[in-house]
A and B are shown apart, each in its own frame.
Chain A
Amino acid sequence: MNSLNLAWIPLPGAIPARQATLEAAQLQPVCRKVADDGGRLLALWGSDEGAGSFALHVTLVNQDGLLCLHLLLAQESPVYPDISQIFPCACRMQRTVYDMLGVAAAGSADQRPWLRHAAWPVDSFPLRKDFDAAMSQEADDYPFVQVEGQGVHEIPVGPVHAGIIEPGHFRFSIIGERVLRLEERLGYVHKGIEKRFENNSLLFCAKLAGRVSGDSTTAYAWAYAMAAENMACVTPPERALWLRALFLERERIANHLGDLGYLANDVAFSFGMSQFWILKEQLLRNNAALFGHRYLMDKIIPGGVAVDLPDADTLLAECDLLEHEVRLLRSILEEHAGVQDRYIGAGTVEPKLASQLGLCGLAGRASSQAWDARVQFPCVPYQTLEVRMATHHNGDVAARVIVRFEELFESIRLQREILAGLPAGDLLEALTDLPGNGFALGMVEGWRGEVMVAMHTDAAGNISRVHPHDPSWQNWPLLEHAILGNIVPDFPLINKSFNLSYSGHDL
Chain B
Amino acid sequence: MYQILKQIIKTGIKTEPAPLADETMRAGEQRLQQQILAVLGRSLAIRLVDAGSCNGCELEIHAVNNAYYNLEGLGIKFVASPRHADLLLVTGTVSRHMEVALQRTLAAIPEPRLVVALGDCACNGGVFGESYASCGKVSNVIPVDVVVSGCPPAPLAIMQGILTAISAKK
Query: A residues touching B (Cβ–Cβ < 8 Å)?
Result: 117-120, 126, 131, 133, 135, 159-160, 162-167, 187-193, 195-196, 204, 207-208, 211-215, 217, 258, 271, 274-275, 277-278, 280-281, 284, 288, 294-295, 297, 328-329, 331-332, 335, 501-503, 506
Pair A166/B132 contact, Cβ less than 8 Å: no
Give the contacts of B54-75 with A (CB-CB under 8 A).
54-63, 65-68
Q: How far is the CA of A107 from the CA of B152 in the complex (A)?
A: 44
What is the bound-complex CA distance between A227 and B48, given in angstroms? 36
Q: Is B35 an interface residue (CB 8 A)?
A: no
Chain B, 1-54, CB within 8 A of any chain A CB: 3-4, 7-8, 11, 14, 48-54
Q: Which residues of B contact A191 (CB under 8 A)?
A: 52, 92-93, 95, 128, 131, 133-134
Q: Establish whether residues A217 and B49, one from each chain, have CB atoms under 8 Å apart when the complex forms.
A: no
Contacts A159-B101, A195-B133: A332 and B4 contacting too (C-beta < 8 A)?
A: yes
Say whether A211 contacts B127, CB under 8 Å.
yes
A284 and B63 contacting across the interface, CB-CB below 8 Å: yes
B137 vs chain A, min Cβ distance (A): 12
- Min distance, Cβ A87 to any Cβ of chain B, angstroms: 27
Cα distance A280–B67 when bound, in Å? 11
Docked CA distance A209–B44 (Å)? 36
Q: Is B168 an interface residue (CB 8 A)?
A: no
A480 to B68, CA, bound (A): 36
Query: How many whole Å from A170's CB to the nearest CB in chain B?
Result: 14
Say whether B68 contacts A281, CB under 8 Å: yes
User: A288 → chain B, closest Cβ, in Å?
Assistant: 8
Which residues of B lie under 8 Å from residue A131 when comparing CB positions? 132
Q: Which 10 A-B pairs have the closest CB atoms?
A: A214-B56, A192-B133, A119-B96, A162-B80, A277-B66, A214-B54, A192-B131, A211-B54, A214-B55, A191-B134
Candidates A120, A164, A217; contact of B62 at CB < 8 Å: A164
Contacts A120-B132, A160-B105; A217 near B66 (Cβ below 8 A): no
B126 closest partner in A (C-beta): A211
- Nearest Cβ distance between residue A485 and chain B, in whole angstroms? 26
Among B7, B101, B131, which residue has its beta carbon within 8 angstroms of that of A332? B7
Q: Which residue of A lies closest to B81 (CB)?
A: A162
Shortest Cβ distance from residue B64 to the other chain A in the assembled complex, whole angstroms: 10
Query: In whole angstroms, how far apart are the Cα atoms of A187 and B52 in the complex?
Result: 10
Contact residues, B63-107 vs A (CB, 8 A): 63, 65-68, 78, 80-82, 92-93, 95-98, 101, 105
Chain A min CB distance to B84 (Å): 11
- Once the chains are docked, how many angstroms separate the CA of A502 from the CA of B58? 12
Give the shortest distance, in Å, between B37 (CB) and chain A (any CB). 25
* Contact A189 B52, CB 8 Å, known A159-B101, A331-B3: yes
Instruction: Tell whether, in the assembled complex, residue A271 and residue B8 are in contact, meaning their CB atoms are under 8 Å apart.
Output: yes
Would A119 and B58 count as touching, CB distance under 8 A? no
Q: Digit string of B130-158 for contact with A (CB within 8 Å is 1, else 0)? A: 01111000000000000000011010000
Selected A-B contacts with CB under 8 Å, 30 pairs: A119-B96, A119-B97, A126-B132, A162-B80, A164-B58, A164-B62, A166-B58, A167-B98, A188-B97, A189-B51, A189-B52, A189-B95, A190-B95, A190-B133, A192-B131, A192-B134, A195-B132, A196-B127, A211-B56, A211-B128, A214-B56, A214-B152, A258-B62, A274-B67, A278-B66, A281-B63, A295-B59, A331-B3, A332-B4, A506-B95
Q: Which residue of B lies closest to A298 (CB)?
A: B151
CA distance A328 to B21 in the complex (A): 39
CA distance A131 to B132 in the complex (A): 10
Residue of B nearest to A186 (CB): B97
Establish whether residues A328 and B152, one from each chain, have CB atoms under 8 Å apart when the complex forms: no
Instruction: Tell me whether A165 and B96 are in contact (CB under 8 A).
Output: no
Contacts A297-B56, A503-B53 known; A193 to B128 CB distance under 8 Å? Answer: yes
Give Cα A93–Cα B26 distance, bound, in whole angstroms.
43
> Which residues on the A side are within 8 Å of B58 (C-beta)?
164-166, 214
The reply to whether A214 and B101 form a contact with Cβ atoms under 8 Å apart is: no
Contact partner, A297, options B61, B68, B97, B151, Cβ 8 Å: B151
Residues of B within 8 A of A120 (CB): 132-133
Q: Which of A187, A189, A275, A288: most chain B CB closer than 10 A?
A: A189
Q: Which residues of B have CB within 8 Å of A328?
A: 3, 7
Contact status B97-A215, CB under 8 Å: no
- A117 and B132: CB pair below 8 A? no
Shortest C-beta distance, B52 to chain A (Å), equals 5
Cα–Cα, bound, A258→B112 (Å): 34
Q: Which residues of B contact A284 (CB under 8 A)?
A: 63
Establish whether residues B14 and A278, one from each chain, have CB atoms under 8 Å apart when the complex forms. Answer: yes
Whole-angstrom CA separation of A207 from B101 in the bound complex:
28
* Complex: A159 Cα to B59 Cα, angstroms: 19
A150 to chain B minimum Cβ distance, whole angstroms, is 31
A163 B80 Cβ-Cβ under 8 A: yes
Residues of B within 8 Å of A193, CB to CB, are: 128
| Bound Cα distance A328, B14 (Å) | 19
In the complex, chain A residues whose CB is within 8 Å of the CB of B55: 166, 213-215, 501-503
Q: Which of A213, A214, A271, A501 gathers most chain B CB within 10 Å?
A: A214
The answer for the CA separation of A329 and B8 in the assembled complex, in Å, is 11
CA distance A154 to B55 in the complex (A): 28
CA distance A56 to B152 in the complex (A): 35
Contact between A119 and B59, CB atoms less than 8 A apart: no
Residues of chain B with a CB closer than 8 A to A274's CB: 11, 66-67
A277, B97: Cβ atoms closer than 8 Å:
no
Are the CB atoms of A119 and B56 closer together than 8 Å? no
Which residues of the partner chain A approach B49 to less than 8 Å between Cβ atoms? 160, 167
Query: What residues of chain B lie closer than 8 Å to A295, measured between beta carbons?
Result: 56, 59, 152
